[in-house]
Structures are given as C-alpha cells and as structure tokens.
Amino acid sequence: MPSNMNPYLNFRDNAAQAMAFYRDVFGGTLESSTFAEMNMSDDPSEANKIMHSTLTTDSGFVLMAADTPNSMAGPESVAPDSSNGYAIALSGDNSDELRGYWDKLLDGGQMTLPLEKAPWGDVFGMVTDRFGTSWMISIEGEDS
C-alpha cells in the first residue's frame, strides 16, 4: 500500500459542523467518532466532541478533522484561521467541478483573492471558508 498525505484539521468544538459542511461541498462518505464513543475523555463536556472524523470523496480526496480536548492548548493555537500559515490546494482541469467547490466554500466565507486568470496562465483564487480554513483553487488551462 502506498503512503498517503491527508490534511487533518483541528477545531475547538465545531468539527462535526465543519465536516458536514465539507461533505456538502465535496460529497462523499463522512465517518465520525465522538470522545464518548471511543472512551477517550473523562470530561462530560467533551462527550459529543469529535475525536476523529474522515471524509472520503468520490474524487479521491481524504480530509480528516477532530475537536481539540479542553486539556490541550487554547483555541487560538488549534483552530484554523487565515493567519495559520497553511492552505489546502485544489487543482486540476475540471473547471465545473473546481468552480463548484469555489462557490460552496465561498458561501459564508471570505474571498482572499478572486478566482481569475493568474500571471502563470491558470485561473486561480483563494478563499477562507466559514470555519477559517484557507483554500487555494487552481484551474489549469482555462481562460477566465
């Protein structure tokens, strides 16, 4: 089996909502386990928080996420935001698919850079979604 690299997002207490949103954006199968289901916390306030969640799409994307337990660092150090130094990049030549993702990610989010022709020839844009995750979308070989 080959090695894989998958984005793993950390949230303070809204991983379930974020992953449901990403399932609506990308489609696919969402599997989640709470801290209570996995017997991973003695704190009753964490019972329904997500210990692990995986979204696997028909396009082959795998996105993982979890809520951060109260015993770990504060939300400012674990929750995605536009200043965290990372973005998830989506690219390809399927304009309809990628523009569909763009539109859905932008709903409730904030455009950082419009989706338009870039100097290197692709159509490129950046958006931060409603959960604070930054996305870069590049459509190869398309005129704007």
CATH architecture of the domain formed by 88-139 = 2-Layer Sandwich (3.30)
Question: Which has more confidence, 68 or 131?
Answer: 131
Vertex 27 angle, CA 99 and 131, to 5°: 75
Q: Tell me what the pLDDT averaged over the chain comes to.
A: 88
Confidence of residue 5 (pLDDT cuts 50, 70, 90): confident
**Residue 9 scores a pLDDT above 90:** yes
Query: What does pTM read for this prediction?
Result: 0.85
**Is the CATH number of domain 8-70 3.10.180.10?**
yes
pLDDT at 38: 86
**Residue 141 scores a pLDDT above 70:** yes
* Of residues 94, 78, 73, the one with CA closest to residue 138: 94
- pLDDT tens across 12-52, in order? 899 999 999 999 999 999 999 999 998 877 788 888 999 99
Q: Which residues pair with 139 in a beta bridge?
A: 92, 123
In the chain, % of residues over pLDDT 90:
69
The structural domains of the chain, with segments of one domain joined by +, span 8-70, 88-139
pLDDT at 83: 47
Burial of 120 (0-12, 13-18, 19+ CB in 10 A): exposed
- pLDDT tens across 49-67, in order? 999 999 999 999 999 999 9
pLDDT at 126: 96
pLDDT at 23: 98
